[in-house]
Structure 1
């Protein structure tokens, strides 16, 4: 069996937390397990039962530590970063740190419902549409995230990565428009010396996968990403 690191997180913090125990995340883990992968899923600092305060630097540090912990115990197994939504930026952050500071090329990266950057996502996601018309939106919302160390620049990261990359996105994603996934694919493919290692799969809106259920409730689509993972062995 291979070993896949599944970096999954919720997008809100409240008494009713979205975390790795959320139904669609449990379904995803079962899908991966049924496909002969071990899965390590985590709640980031400040989420669910994890202590601490959320920050891009903190998230990256935690997952980098976790990667080394896994590699020390998995010998020569393939380790895959699977990031969903917010987790896509953390996955590419860690992969970039490993390459630039340690000379390590992550075996493969799967980006499910990714964004180009958090700033771009906040400026285009449907939930902010009503606020974009008001003066000060950029300063109060977009610039504030930058000052709070929340950038998650997938678009910059993929330009320097050498790992095989698979991008999955659904046309009816109501959280992060599929245009982000398409643009990220073009950036990654144009920067790659081996363009065939960068792949993009779009799923029609008629499937109803939305933002959360692409990998967990799409049994007919499973062969697409499984073939990609098998190809990196």
Structure 2
């Protein structure tokens, strides 16, 4: 009887293991296909707006007329859905005019009072927000983030947020090239249509949005003449897609691809199938070098929480290292880097630690928080403070 039970146990164990292995190998096979990769990397089909209408911002908690829903055209003809969000104090000052306007989607955003309040105020600042994977600009945890971005100066800081192609109401399908085109189009709308100079534009991004932000920041810095923004704020960035999948675990506990990283040849082979590589480590270095070569000033802040389950905070530490190395003539050794940065490191106890790397061309700041998770951190005061710090560093008269 005991032998029979053991035999059955081994049999069913073998079946379960075989099925699990088969599903895992099937998943790996699917991950080698570009279409499935896009769904996994961008998660753009997951809306997370619970059937709410993005053309009715009031249903997300905004005041009537506080948000202008409109669209921006990408260079290749895609329609990018966007929100222009007024800061609360500025809204209060012009409430009557804003409430009187028709609600809903606007085909011509330049005809609205909100647009004129942005374009005609020489002291206005514009935060261009680039969100992470999954959801839309109206997904639950993102809406409070916009208030945090303008909290430092609630009469002057406007927010422009948009959905990449394939997300929400935006047309098309996501890709690395496509998202870079989208971000470029949004920035050019801000500069050329709204008339906001790059010195009054702050790029703020989270998660995969940080890869987009670095791509667009480098792109404009490489123009002749170089175009540099007031600053770039990256929250929970990653090194590149290959490194991300090598470190990613579901809920921080269940690894997907990371076990294969222990086999370098196999993992290197699988890396050849990655279509959208999003090499932020190369772009952050390229951005710093481009700004330096143009004799301009960069203001770059990286923020990451130690308890981030989605993207481990070591990604920010390594990106910071790449940025620092781009400021010196010869790459620092590990010991040299540790010694150099330790002189600038400030321990804030339960709030984490900060390192400011200062050069003749600007400041690169690394903030490692003890807590904040991956998404919650975006609405915390640390982001409001970082936003104001960057804007004031770019223009000390802004208060």
**TM bin (shorter chain):** 0.7 to 0.9
* CA–CA distance in structure 1, aligned partners of residues 257 and 172 of structure 2: 30
- 160-169 or 108-117, which moves further after superposition? 160-169
Give secondary structure in 1 for the equivalent of 2:137: coil
* CA–CA distance in structure 2, aligned partners of residues 167 and 33 of structure 1: 19
Quote the residue 1:5 is aligned against.
Answer: 128
Displacement of 1:62 after TM fit? 1.2
* CA–CA distance in structure 2, aligned partners of residues 45 and 56 of structure 1: 11
Quote the residue 1:93 is aligned against.
Answer: 215
1:197 aligned to which of 353, 363, 375: 363
Quote the residue 2:108 is aligned against.
Answer: none
Please give the per-residue CA displacement for 1:107-133, whole angstroms capped at 9, x wherever unaligned.
211010000112111111113724443
* CA–CA distance in structure 2, aligned partners of residues 113 and 155 of structure 1: 14
Quote the residue 1:167 is aligned against.
Answer: 302
Give secondary structure in 2 for the equivalent of 1:177: coil
* CA–CA distance in structure 1, aligned partners of residues 241 and 229 of structure 2: 23
TM-score by length of structure 1 reads 0.85
Quote the residue 2:172 is aligned against.
Answer: 52
Please give the per-residue CA displacement for 1:74-132, whole angstroms capped at 9, x wherever unaligned.
34461111110000000110111112234222321101000011211111111372444
Displacement of 1:220 after TM fit? 6.1
Q: Are the counterparts in 1 of residues 127 and 203 from structure 2 also a CA contact under 8 Å?
A: yes
Please give the per-residue CA displacement for 1:155-208, whole angstroms capped at 9, x wherever unaligned.
111112232110010000000000000111121122136545100111103xxx
Question: Residues 33 and 107 of structure 1: is their aligned pair in 2 closer, same or farther, counting only changes over 3 Å?
Answer: closer
* CA–CA distance in structure 2, aligned partners of residues 222 and 183 of structure 1: 24
Quote the residue 1:219 is aligned against.
Answer: 381
Displacement of 1:68 after TM fit? 1.0
Displacement of 1:54 after TM fit? 0.6
Q: 1 or 2 for the larger relative contact order (CA 8 Å, sep ≥6)?
A: 1
- 173-182 or 130-139, which moves further after superposition? 130-139
Quote the residue 1:210 is aligned against.
Answer: 373
Q: Are the counterparts in 2 of residues 192 and 198 from structure 1 also a CA contact under 8 Å?
A: no
* CA–CA distance in structure 1, aligned partners of residues 201 and 222 of structure 2: 18
* CA–CA distance in structure 1, aligned partners of residues 366 and 148 of structure 2: 20
* CA–CA distance in structure 1, aligned partners of residues 201 and 390 of structure 2: 14
TM-score by length of structure 2 reads 0.51
Question: Residues 210 and 81 of structure 1: is their aligned pair in 2 closer, same or farther, counting only changes over 3 Å?
Answer: same
Please give the per-residue CA displacement for 1:131-152, whole angstroms capped at 9, x wherever unaligned.
4435855544x3332xx3x111
* CA–CA distance in structure 2, aligned partners of residues 29 and 110 of structure 1: 14
Structure 1 vs Structure 2 CA RMSD: 2.1
Give secondary structure in 1 for the equivalent of 2:180: helix
1:61 aligns with 2:181: yes
Question: Residues 5 and 23 of structure 1: is their aligned pair in 2 closer, same or farther, counting only changes over 3 Å?
Answer: same
Aligned residue-pair number: 219
